[in-house]
Amino acid sequence: MKEEKQEMEKMEKQIAMVIDLNKCIGCQTCTISCKRLWTNEPGMEYMYWNIVNTVPGEGTPRGWEKMGGGWKDGNLNYGKIPTEEEFGKAWEFNFDEVYYKGNAQKEHLKPLGDRPEWGPNWDEDKGAGQFPNSYYFYLPRICNHCSKPACLAACPLKAIYKREEDGVVVHDGDKCKGTRLCHSACPYKKVYFNTAKNMSQKCIACFPRLEKNVAPACVRQCPGRARHFGYINDKEGQVYKLVNDWKVALPLHPEFGTEPNVFYIPPQLPAKLNPDGTIDENAPRIPLGYLEELFGSGVGNVLEIIKKEREKKEYSELMALLISRKWEDMMKPFHQPPVKEG
């Protein structure tokens, strides 16, 4: 594995994203922006190419972290194919019964059918731990446009390809016949099935926008300004600096082996409280073990670096990057507006 890693060349033009978990406020604007642009047609109702989960939590699909997939010792792993229930169905509602059928107060607005047991954001704002030292944060997830995509490897029909110009991984809808082996192989479970068109689909990194140097919708529309975006090898870009210079942006579950191109700045939550109500400045609220589960063993060190830079009185390049006073700097060279002014 290590040998492969060293031989592995990142593509010349590979787009990558850094999501700052200190800035994500779980508003799901990214989720909705993606939905309104790409997945608002019949057969796509349950799809959330982007979703934000509250963690610790079972996530979307439910229990995805244990569903398998990815690479192990150079071999492709086939994991579970998540069901629509596990993703969370797109509930329809009994509007007519409530509004127009003369049911007075006997009907109330709710999802049709049996009470759902899960939804794509069912455990929002829950997390783990015990009050007042409970902890949670938000984890936005999209397709990672991996450099070693398990989905691509798994497709028996070669219907998944990686674009040369930007490394975006796309399902070719003309070739896909719906075997769903990609669902099984993707360890992040970010592939969906279009029930109207009988094909698999997933995040396409908004490549039509990239072609116009416009950042993906989830990046550009995020009000939290939580996402940095650019070419992974652009030494002047924020992504490169955060991933390679400062090394504070970490991949999610690197052990899956797919070499994801989405990275995360780990979160720092408030100080814990002692049983007597005094503040413990030193004990981390999020157990380090949990963060290591997500981001690997380097996460503790990353938190230290960020803390140190934040305490500096003088200029810190890292803080300047994470603050990004100019919003456009976060997505260069994809900072062009979709519509030119004037």
Partner 1 sequence: MTVKKEKENELPRRGFCKECVKYSVALSAFSLFPGISNWAANAAERKEILKNPLSPSGGICNPAPVDFEKFYRQKWTWDKVHLGTHNVNCWFQQNCNFHVYTKEGKVIREEQVGNYPQTNSKVPDFNPKGCQKGCSYSELMYSKPRILNPLKREGERGEGKWKEVSWDEALTDIAGKLIDTIDRHGSKTVVVDPGSNIVNYLAFYSMFRFFDQLDSVILDVNCELGDDQQGAAVTFGEITNDRSADDYFYSDLVFIWGGNPAYTQIPNFHFLTEARYNGTKIVAISPDMNASAIHADYFIPVKPGTDSALANAISYILINEKLYKHDLICEQTDLPFLVRIDNNKLLRQSDLKKNGSSEILYRWNLNINKPQQADQATLNLGTCNPALEGEFKVKTINGIVTVQPVFEFLKKQLADFSPENASKICGVAPETIRKLAMMLVNAKAATNTCTSNFSKFYHGDILVRSQILAFILSGHLGRKGSGYVTASFLVPDGGVNLVYELEQVKERGLYYMAKYGASFWTNLYKSEDWRYTLYKYHIDTFVDSRSMVNSTLFWNLHGGIIEVSGRTKEWDPYLKRNINEYIKETLDKNWQVLDPALNTQPRVLFSWAGNSIRRVRSSQQLLKVLWPKLDLVVALEMRLSSTAMWADYVLPVNGAYEKTTTMVANTNTLSPFLHTTNKATENTGNSKDEWEIACLLAKKIQELSIQRNIRTFTSARKRIRRFDEMYNTLTATIKENESEKISKKIVDESSNLGDDAWNKMKKKGFVKFTGVGNDPANFGNACDIKPGETISPHTWHTENKKPWMTLSRRIQFYIDHDWYLELKEQLPIHKNPPKAGGDYPLVLTSGHARWSIHSLWRTDPLMLRLQRGEPFLLMSESDAQKRGIADDDKTKVYNDVGYMLTRVKVSPNVQPGQVIMYHGWESYQFAEWKSYRNVLASPLNPIEMVGDYPYLKPIMAVRQPGQNDRDTRVEVVKN
Site for partner 1 in 259-318 (CB under 8 A): 267, 269-271, 273, 276-279, 310-311, 313
Give the residue, chosen from 18, 33, 145, 200, that forms a contact with partner 1 under the rule CB under 8 A.
Answer: 33
Give the residue, chosen from 125, 245, 255, 317, that forms a contact with partner 1 under the rule CB under 8 A.
Answer: 125
Structure token digits, residue 185: 């192989």
Give the residue, chosen from 2, 7, 42, 282, that forms a contact with partner 1 under the rule CB under 8 A.
Answer: 7
* Least distance CB 78 / partner 1 (angstroms): 5
* Nearer Cβ to partner 1 (259/297): 259
Structure token digits, residue 21: 């978990």
* Nearer Cβ to partner 1 (12/297): 12
State which H helix or E strand residue 4 sits in: helix 2-7
* Nearer Cβ to partner 1 (217/291): 217
Contacts of 138 (CB under 8 A, 6+ apart): 21, 24, 25, 26, 52, 53, 54, 55
* Residue range at the interface with partner 1 (CB under 8 A); choices 125-133, 235-243, 245-253, 289-297: 125-133
Q: Which residues, 43 to 72, sit near partner 1 by CB under 8 A?
A: none
* Least distance CB 8 / partner 1 (angstroms): 6
* Residue range at the interface with partner 1 (CB under 8 A); choices 132-140, 239-247, 248-256, 291-299: 132-140
* Nearer Cβ to partner 1 (206/250): 206
d(C-alpha 39, C-alpha 51), whole Å: 12
d(C-alpha 331, C-alpha 226), whole Å: 11
Q: Which residues, 241 to 260, sit near partner 1 by CB under 8 A?
A: none
* Nearer Cβ to partner 1 (77/254): 77
Closest CA to 241 of 305, 284, 194: 305
* Nearer Cβ to partner 1 (141/209): 209
d(C-alpha 205, C-alpha 143), whole Å: 8
Q: For residues 86 and 118, is the Cβ–Cβ distance under 8 A?
A: yes
Closest CA to 160 of 196, 116, 105, 201: 201
CB contact burial 146-170 (16+ within 10 A = b; e otherwise): bbbbbbbbbbeeebbebbeebbbbb
Q: Which residues, 194 to 223, sit near partner 1 by CB under 8 A?
A: 195, 198, 204, 206-209, 211, 217, 220-223
* Nearer Cβ to partner 1 (8/297): 8
* Nearer Cβ to partner 1 (247/269): 269
Q: Report the Cα 297 to chain-centroid distance in Å.
A: 20
* Residue range at the interface with partner 1 (CB under 8 A); choices 131-139, 230-238, 247-255, 289-297: 131-139
* DSSP-derived pairing of the beta strands 51-55 and 75-76: unpaired
* Nearer Cβ to partner 1 (297/323): 323
Site string for partner 1, 78-117 (x = CB under 8 A): xxxxxxxx--x-xxxx-x--xxxxxxxxxxxxxx---xxx
Give the residue, chosen from 1, 4, 288, 304, that forms a contact with partner 1 under the rule CB under 8 A.
Answer: 4
Q: What is the CA radius of gyration of the chain?
A: 21
- Under DSSP, the state recorded for 111 is B
Cis peptide bond upstream of 132, omega within 30: yes
Q: How many residues bind partner 1 (CB under 8 A)?
A: 137
- Helix pair 288-295, 299-311: axis angle to 10 deg: 110
Site string for partner 1, 141-180 (x = CB under 8 A): -------xx--xx-xxxxxxxxxx-----x-xxxx-xxxx
